[in-house]
Amino acid sequence: MSTLTTRDGVELYYKDWGSGQPIVFSHGWPLNADSWESQMLFLADNGYRVIAHDRRGHGRSSQPWDGNDMDHYADDLAELIEALDLKDAVLLGFSTGGGEVARYIGRHGTRRVAKAGLISAVPPLMLQTEGNPDGVPMDVFDGIRAGSIANRSQLYQDIASGPFFGFNRPGAVVSQGLIDAFWMQGMLAGHKNTYDCIAAFSATDFTDDLKKFDVPTLVVHGDDDQIVPIGTAGQASARLVADAQLLVYPGAPHGLTDTHKDRLNADLLAFIQG
């Protein structure tokens, strides 16, 4: 197992496959590096070095009581990139991982970054506020927190079998395998860590981070994303990042890295090679 111990003593697990230009993946909540395997296998087969870590408190990484916030997540990513001495890296972030990538660029710049991708990502700000009236109301996130405390195993089952993959839509072809994988990854994560992460992904404002992007950036979002609405997130991010390329997947749910993996793989490869 490949691991890195951060300056504050957190052990981070990571996968490092293949060789070539490095592509670094940041995963969503409450998942881990396994959630990117379809993209990692495809891109490694196409001549790239693919690296994905389990965020602190998630997967096979250790579960610190404190530091479950975007600044720490971004600094962990920076330590991994520095430790592996990655150059000209492509950073790809899904959902919460998109926030991690945005905050990384906001705090650490793009000296080691060639391109960035935000996939079904939470920036610029999910939470509804006076300045963000089209955001998601606080009671939605309070409901997730309540569900986590009451029975997080059932919460993960309900999210995966319903809105995450769009399995609650009429005519949807339900995959029990995808539901089980989501649940399994969620249950590997720490209870306190995933609870704290709800605030991190929902209430962190990434507006200033996005304005610091100065590398080619791809934004991919499904227009039927029931978890991170496209208007609040993908379309708003594309307006803030200079010269961002926005790809809208008609009918795609939040978990399009699985439901639309063939299209996403092809689009990512074209973006990276372009």
List, by residue number, the catalytic residues: 95, 225, 254
Work out the end-to-end distance of the chain between its first and last CA atoms, rounded to an integer number of angstroms.
33
**94 vs 45: CA distance, rounded Å:** 21
Strands 49-53, 11-17: parallel, antiparallel or unpaired by DSSP? antiparallel
**29 vs 101: CA distance, rounded Å:** 14
Q: Tokens 């961002």 sit at which residue?
A: 244
Six token digits for residue 20: 């070539």
**223 vs 248: CA distance, rounded Å:** 6
**4 vs 76: CA distance, rounded Å:** 9
CA distances from 162 to 6, 7, 168, 170, 186 (A): 36, 39, 5, 11, 15
**103 vs 75: CA distance, rounded Å:** 9
- The closest alpha carbon to 7, from 87, 64, 45, belongs to 64
H/E stretch holding 25 reads: strand 22-26
